[in-house]
């Protein structure tokens, strides 16, 4: 059975997550800045619980937690430890309540760090910042019961073999809570499933298979073959990604995401599997619910999509 995932925010539902800027907090004294961030963290914990309740009420089985759920947490100048915040105990308690809700209702939560997380960067300071970001997200993941922190393979830097070796070496620097949750996703510019699968097998890091990225950057594997190979890397319920091109597969930029998912872009091989499919579409919860409805009523396959 497919579990559908909603990514981070809502289009129509009145559920909002708060954030701030380094410029705004940087103008404050340290105590005032921490108080501002603390209030945002509390509000975001409440918003997360509301998001999870929405998902439970609407048959959406997974929610991706925004990377800025604790604003500025790893900022090089304004970052903080949670216990520095005035409301630290209440913040942790409220996020743990989200984790209890997830467990009680059979939901799933996950993280997908921002693009600046590059574990194979040639710049040591970028790797250090990436590791700090992953450790922060692992801390919150422990509270909310998330079992996936998903990253891209990083850059090729003119030598994909060395770059993947560097990626693998960085894994050894992660704490156990971060390492056990880490997954890697094929992208649409550098690393295909065929590039990443050997690393996944060697390190035990599961492959989050993105069918859209694979159709934009194909390799020798078909979508069905990549589905089988990616599934084999998981020791828990696999997680995949689906999206549709904004201007169609023959448009100038097939990598750009549409507001909704074309039901024909959903691989037929996914329909009878037990897996989570995160819906990466700009219409957010509206797109997830539309896809669920259309899949329930559509034939198994009306057209063959690129790479299927």
pLDDT one digit per residue (tens) for the chain, 308 residues: 899 999 999 999 999 999 999 999 999 999 999 999 999 999 999 999 999 999 999 999 999 999 999 999 999 999 999 999 999 999 999 999 999 999 999 999 999 998 899 999 999 999 999 999 999 999 999 999 999 999 999 999 999 999 999 999 999 999 999 999 999 999 999 999 999 999 999 999 999 999 999 999 999 999 999 999 999 999 999 999 999 999 888 888 988 989 999 999 999 999 989 999 999 999 999 999 999 999 999 765 444 334 44
Nearest to 71 by CA among 33, 32, 28: 33
Identify the DSSP state of 123.
S
Q: How far apart are CA 15 and CA 46, in angstroms?
A: 10
Nearest to 96 by CA among 53, 133, 143, 63: 143
For the chain, the straight-line distance linking the first and the last C-alpha, in angstroms and rounded, comes to 20
Instruction: Give residue 179's pLDDT.
Output: 98
Q: How far apart are CA 25 and CA 30, in angstroms?
A: 8
Instruction: Give residue 308's pLDDT.
Output: 40
Other Cβ atoms within 10 Å of 24 Cβ, number? 14
User: What's the angle, vertex CA 202, arms to CA 196 and CA 207, rounded to 5?
Assistant: 40
Instruction: Give residue 300's pLDDT.
Output: 59
Could you give the 3-state DSSP secondary structure of residue 115? Answer: coil
Instruction: Give residue 30's pLDDT.
Output: 98
Instruction: Give residue 184's pLDDT.
Output: 98
Could you give the 3-state DSSP secondary structure of residue 1? Answer: coil
Q: How many percent of the chain have pLDDT more than 90?
A: 92
Instruction: Give residue 250's pLDDT.
Output: 85
Secondary structure (H, E, C), 204-261:
CCCEEEEHHHHHHCCCCCCHHHHHHHHHCCCCCCCEEEECCECCCCCCCCCCCECCCC
Instruction: Give residue 247's pLDDT.
Output: 86
CB 90 within 8 A of CB 38: no
Instruction: Give residue 304's pLDDT.
Output: 34
Q: How far apart are CA 3 and CA 239, in angstroms?
A: 9
Q: Which residues does 213 contact at the CB level (< 8 Å), separation at least 6?
A: 185, 186, 187, 188, 241, 255
Q: Which domains does the chain have, with CATH numbers?
A: 2-297 (3.20.20.150)
């Amino acid at each position: 059975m497919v579990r559908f995932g909603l990514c981070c925010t809502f289009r129509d539902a009145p559920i909002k997550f708060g954030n701030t800027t380094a410029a705004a907090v940087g103008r404050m004294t340290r105590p005032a800045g921490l108080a501002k961030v603390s209030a945002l963290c509390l509000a975001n914990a409440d918003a997360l619980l509301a998001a999870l309740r929405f998902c439970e009420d609407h048959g959406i089985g997974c929610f991706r937690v925004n990377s800025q759920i604790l604003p500025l947490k790893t900022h090089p100048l304004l970052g903080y430890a949670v216990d520095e915040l005035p409301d630290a105990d209440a913040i942790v308690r409220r996020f743990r309540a989200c984790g209890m809700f997830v467990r009680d209702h059979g939901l799933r939560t996950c993280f997908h760090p921002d693009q600046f997380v590059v574990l194979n960067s040639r710049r040591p300071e970028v790797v250090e910042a990436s590791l700090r970001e992953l450790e922060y997200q692992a801390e919150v993941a422990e509270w909310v019961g998330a079992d996936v922190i998903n990253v891209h393979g990083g850059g090729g830097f003119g030598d994909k073999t060395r770059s993947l070796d560097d990626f693998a070496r960085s894994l050894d620097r992660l704490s156990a809570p971060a390492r056990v949750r880490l997954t890697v996703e094929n992208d649409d510019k550098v690393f295909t499933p065929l590039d990443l699968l050997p690393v996944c097998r060697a390190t035990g890091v599961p492959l989050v298979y993105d069918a859209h990225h694979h159709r934009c950057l194909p390799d020798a594997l078909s979508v069905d073959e990549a589905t089988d190979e990616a599934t084999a890397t998981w020791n828990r319920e696999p997680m995949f990604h689906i999206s549709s091109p904004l201007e169609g597969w023959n448009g100038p930029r097939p990598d750009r995401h549409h507001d909704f998912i074309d039901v024909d872009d959903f691989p037929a091989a996914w329909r009878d599997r037990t897996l989570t499919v995160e819906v990466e579409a700009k219409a957010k919860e509206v797109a997830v619910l539309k896809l669920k409805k259309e899949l329930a009523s559509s034939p198994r396959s009306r057209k063959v999509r690129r790479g299927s």
